[in-house]
Amino acid sequence: MLIIRKEQMRILEESRHQDFIRRTRHLLEKHFPHQCDKQIKPEDFESLIRQSCVTAEKYGITSENEVAKFIGFLLFVFPDLEQSVRLKARTILEGSIPEKMLQINYLLERSLSSGDSE
The per-residue pLDDT for 25 is 92
Residue 18 has pLDDT above 90, yes or no: yes
- Quote the longest CA-to-CA distance of the chain: 58
- Please provide the average confidence, as pLDDT, over all residues in the chain: 78
pLDDT in tens, 42-76: 888 899 899 889 888 888 888 888 888 888 888 77
Residue 116 has pLDDT above 60, yes or no: no
Residue 112 has pLDDT above 60, yes or no: no
CA pair distance 29, 32, nearest whole angstrom: 5
CA pair distance 49, 113, nearest whole angstrom: 25
Please give the average per-residue pLDDT across 94-105, as a whole number: 66
Residue 6 has pLDDT above 80, yes or no: yes
The per-residue pLDDT for 79 is 65
